[in-house]
Amino acid sequence: MLDIIEIIKPAEQGKNMPYLCRGENGDLYYVKGIKTTRKGQICEWICANLAKEFGLPMAPFSLVNIPNNIYSESSSGKVELGTGTAFATQNIKFANWYQPAYADKVSRKLKEDLLAFDWWIQNMDRMKDNPNLLWVNNKLELTVIDHDSAFGFEFFPTIFTQEHIFFRCS
Ligand SMILES: Nc1ncnc2c1ncn2[C@@H]1O[C@H](COP(=O)(O)OP(=O)(O)O)[C@@H](O)[C@H]1O
Ligand SMILES: [Mg+2]
């Protein structure tokens, strides 16, 4: 398992405060630690694997190890990340938040696949106001993240159909 060797800064958005970190291979990752809860991390891992198998453009992901001694020089992130195994996605360079205005740049198949996937995993966390999708404008590329509240944490079918980012989106 890849060791994290540097904790750089918290994400600018997000309730679980993932941190941008550097792995021992030199690559940058967004790491979700204990603040995500163990259940949330397990949801992330299972759904990331399912999304990949489903053919969705899931951010490249892995489990990482946060060593005990990483906090000896700086305590930044200690409360949110903790130590030991955590879930990580590779930093998507130059990504912005996906916005509904980009809808015509995304294929109908991908929109339908994401809608079906989120219904399947009971994910209420891809709504119009918080789609948990990243967008790289110069590549017109969409990347999927954030499944820590899947599997029916709070699944309300009526709200899902009203609010999902790709419901009734041609
Ligand atoms: N792989 C990634 N590449 C670039 N930015 C990311 C990545 N993962 C997360 N982020 C940034 O961190 C924010 C919070 O991550 P997210 O997984 O949605 O956490 P939360 O569960 O707290 O909502 C995202 O909105 C995005 O801005
Ligand atoms: Mg999120």
Q: Which residues are within 5 Å of ligand 2 (an ion), measured at CB? A: 14, 132, 146
Tell me, yes or no, whether 22 lies in a domain.
yes
pLDDT in tens, the chain (170 residues): 999 999 999 999 989 999 999 999 999 999 999 999 999 999 999 999 999 999 999 999 999 999 999 999 778 999 999 999 999 999 999 999 999 999 999 999 999 999 999 999 999 999 999 999 999 999 999 999 999 999 987 899 999 999 999 998 65
Q: 49: domain range?
A: 2-90
The binding-site residues of ligand 1, defined as CB within 6 angstroms of any ligand atom, are 11-16, 18, 30, 59, 89-92, 95, 132, 134, 145-146, 148
**0.85 exceeded by the pTM?**
yes
Taking the C-alpha atoms of residue 150 and residue 47, their distance in angstroms, rounded to an integer, is 8
* Residue of the CA atom closest to atom 12 of ligand 1: 11
**Domain count within the chain:** 2
Residue 82 burial (CB < 10 Å; 0-12/13-18/19+)?
middle
Taking the C-alpha atoms of residue 166 and residue 113, their distance in angstroms, rounded to an integer, is 10
The CB density around residue 133, as the number of other CB atoms within 10 Å, is: 21
Instruction: Point out the domain boundary residue: 66, 90, 114.
Output: 90
Tell me, yes or no, whether 39 lies in a domain.
yes
Instruction: Clarify whether residues 61 and 85 are in a common domain.
Output: yes
Tell me, yes or no, whether 168 lies in a domain.
no
